[in-house]
Amino acid sequence: MAICLVRYNRKYLPAIVTLFNSTIQRVNRKDYSQAELNEWIQSNPDFDLWHETLTSSYCLLAMANSII
């Protein structure tokens, strides 16, 4: 499977937020309580804030088969 790097584009934002939330649920589960995880998980993310944050620096995404 080939992995390529692409510049951040707003069209990827829903996938980025989904990846963020699923990483919290899967990876961080062993180190934090469910209450702490629930505080991190964004059920209603502020996409404008995410976009502002990701465009304020040089942001690259790793893509494999067009999936982040």
pLDDT at 28: 85
pLDDT at 1: 83
Flag whether pLDDT at 61 surpasses 90. Answer: yes
Angle value at C-alpha 12, between 10 and 17, nearest 5 degrees: 105
- d(CA 24, CA 29) in angstroms, rounded, equals 7
pLDDT at 52: 98
Q: What is the dihedral of CA 68, 48, 9, 39, to 10 degrees?
A: -20
Q: Mind listing the pLDDT tens digit for each residue in 11-58?
A: 999 999 999 999 999 998 889 999 999 999 989 999 999 999 999 999
Mean pLDDT (whole number) for 61-67:
94
Quick one: which of 49, 45, 47, 58 has its CA closest to 12?
47
